[in-house]
Structure 1
Amino acid sequence: MEKSVSLQGKALILIDFQRGFEDPFWGDRNNPSAEENARGLIEVLRSSSGQIIHVRHLSSETGSPLAGPGAAFKRGFEPRSNETVYEKTVNSAFIGTTLEEDLRRAEVRELIICGLTTPHCVSTTIRMAANLGFSVELAHDACAAFTRNANVSFDGGPPPSANEIHRAAVYHLHGEFAQAVLTSDLVVRWQA
């Protein structure tokens, strides 16, 4: 007999899994498995009582890859009718949305967050979530960064690689704002 997974009081927040991040504008990226890992989390949550929340960035910048067709969700990340979508125009999913109020009304206290990009919208949302009192787990292998995330040198040195950008962002979040965890560990724990 299969065990039913209970994730009451938890929500998975998927940040900016959008087609615009397939544009060469962003440069090299790390972690080509990010989407596959995130879809694994979605699959587990859809078979449980946990909530799935989709966030997407609607850029107002002229020529942005995250406007028009690029604002659409990537294949495999299309929300189902019972899943909430929040649209933002800044890095944090809490700014200009009702995300905080809706989480509190649903008595969600624990968040699992993943998405694109690690140092920008993922990091900003996690920092705000922690400051608002939510317990946060960062599914770091379901996130990715691009060289565009740090393409301007502030000290004349060479820019970091996409993997260095990603790892630095995770290190800055882990222990202070979130616990960085592997998606496989989350799935094993949820199914235990």
Structure 2
Amino acid sequence: MTRSAVLNVDSQCSFFHSPSWQDTDFPAFQQAISALIAGAQARQIPVVDIFHVEEEGVFSSTSGHVRPMPFLTHAPAARFEKQVHNAFTGTGLDRWLRLHDCQHLVICGIRTEQCCETTARVASDLGYRVTFVTEATLTFPMTHKGITLDVDALRHRTETVLAGRFATPLTVAECLESLT
């Protein structure tokens, strides 16, 4: 039997103080990630918290913001800090997952197309089976060369590039059903 783990990537208070922060999709994200984590814990699946840390600013350890968002009250099985976009490089996460015989990873957190997607890609390259729970990720509109991609476009793009290559995109309900 394949053992699973949920990777909760960057769901931290730092984002409340980030210039990109928008409340628009936060209530839906909060509900979805809470349901995913509660469902995983009810199935005795470990939840691993990953926090992004930088030397300065709202993502620095000294800012006081590198901590779980207040609604996240679960006790993580492990906690790792990262300095890059993926949760593996320089963190010890891969070693922890292998020591705990986890071969299937469920990705959730903040930002959909950045740290969550990058973590999914690296996990796949490391040989893990990856489920990407898009509705339990959060992102914000992005503009490049005068073109703005809204949240729905970014989520669709992420699912499109991950599906069939790096991860299986599922809803919270589909993911939890597959874990039973």
Q: Normalising by structure 2, what TM-score?
A: 0.88
Does the CA-based 8 Å contact 1:112-1:139 persist in structure 2?
yes
State the partner residue of 2:50.
55
Preserved CA contact (<8 Å) 1:13 1:114: yes
1:187 aligns with 2:176: yes
Aligned match of 1:43 in 38, 41, 54? 38
Alpha-carbon separation, structure 1, partners of 2:127 and 2:23 = 31
Q: Does the alignment pair 1:114 with 2:108?
A: yes
The CA deviation at 1:73 is 0.8
**Structure 2 residue identity aligned to 1:187:** L
Consecutive unaligned residues in structure 2, runs of 5 or more: none
The separation in 2 between residues aligned to 1:10 and 1:30, in whole angstroms, is 31
Amino acid at match of 1:75: P
The match for 1:175 is: 164
SS in structure 2 at match of 1:14: strand
| Equivalent position SS for 2:69 | coil
CA distance in 1, matches of 2:44, 2:135: 23
Q: Does 1:71 align with 2:66?
A: yes
Q: Which residue of 1 is the match for residue 29 of structure 2?
A: 34
State the AA in 1 paired with 2:168.
Q
Q: SS state of the match for residue 25, structure 1?
A: coil
Structure 1 unaligned segments of length 5 or more: list them.
1-6
- Asked if the contact 2:2–2:104 (Cα under 8 Å) also holds between the matched residues in 1, the reply is no
The answer to which structure has the higher strand fraction is 2
Instruction: Provide the C-alpha distance between the structure 2 equivalents of 1:161 and 1:24, rounded to a whole number of angstroms.
Output: 18
CA distance, structure 1, for counterparts of residue 136 and residue 7 of structure 2: 11
Distance 1:167 1:70, change over 3 A: farther
Q: Secondary structure at the match of 2:32?
A: helix
Contact 1:94–1:125 (8 Å) recurs in 2: yes
Q: Is 1:104–2:98 an aligned residue pair?
A: yes
Q: Is the partner of 1:10 in helix, strand or coil?
A: strand
The answer to whether the 8 A contact 1:18-1:74 is kept is yes
1:4 corresponds in structure 2 to none
Higher-Rg structure is 1
Letter in 1 for 2:154: I
Shift of 1:29: 6.6
Aligned to 2:123, which of 109, 129, 145? 129
Q: Does 1:16 align with 2:10?
A: yes
How many equivalent residue pairs? 177
Report SS of the residue matched to 2:101.
coil
State how far apart, in whole Å, the 2-side matches of 1:119 and 1:37 are.
17
CA offset at residue 76 of structure 1? 2.8
Separation (CA, whole Å) in 2 of partners of 1:14 and 1:96? 17
Q: Is the 8 A contact 2:40 2:176 kept in 1?
A: no
Scaled by the length of structure 1, what TM-score is found?
Answer: 0.83
- For the 8 Å contact 2:131–2:175, the answer to whether it is kept is no
Amino acid at match of 1:66: F
Deviations 1:33-74 (A, max 9, x none): 1121111111122222211111011122x33x3231221210
Supply the distance in 1 between the matched residues of 2:17 and 2:159 (Cα, whole angstroms): 24
CA distance in 1, matches of 2:20, 2:73: 22
**Which residue of the other structure, out of 73, 82, 85, is the alignment partner of 2:79?**
85
